[in-house]
Amino acid sequence: MLELTLRIGFSLLVVFALMWGIAKMIRRPLAGRGGDLMVVVSRQQLTRGSSVAIVRVGEQALILGVTDQQVTLLKETSLDELEAPKPVHRSPVEVTDLSLGAHAAPISPAPAPGALNGSALSPQTWATAVKFLRDRTVRR
């Protein structure tokens, strides 16, 4: 009975090792196979079947309109012209109750750092996940 259990356990181990190896080979990026000649820098979904993509080809950046039926060149530009958007710094806002003329305490734009920030237990993480799922499941 012990020998049979060991055989089954070893067989399962071999099968899982093969599955892991195949998954690693499949997930290998195409850039590793063919070089870095063409790279998708960014992609923004517009509707279910259309998007805009920025593709780097050599030292040029191509802005492409992509649909299910075709790919259209919208603009060709240099990589220097494409800049990452700068983060917007928002200062605390003072809220005024117009009926009473009283000023409330400033409202901070982000919650104070805590022990749970960034973890799966953080309320902010769950709020972000719910917002993402709402955006992805909007009926069009």
Bridge-based pairing state of the strands 71-78 and 96-97 = unpaired
- What confidence tens digit (pLDDT) does each residue in 128-137 have? 888 888 877 7
- What confidence tens digit (pLDDT) does each residue in 77-102 have? 887 777 655 565 555 555 454 444 44
**What 8-state DSSP symbol labels residue 135?**
H
pLDDT at 34 over 60: no
Cut 0.75: pTM above it:
no
Instruction: State the pLDDT at residue 14.
Output: 95
Instruction: State the pLDDT at residue 58.
Output: 83
* Model confidence band, residue 57 (pLDDT cutoffs 50, 70, 90): confident
Instruction: State the pLDDT at residue 117.
Output: 65
Return the closest-CA partner of residue 68 out of 47, 49, 53. 49
Domain boundaries, the chain: 1-35, 36-81
Query: What Å distances lie between residue 4 and 9, 10, 107, CA to CA?
Result: 9, 10, 66
Complete edge-to-edge strand list for the sheet that includes strand 71-78: 38-47, 50-57, 60-67, 71-78
Rounded CA-CA distance 81/122 in Å is 38
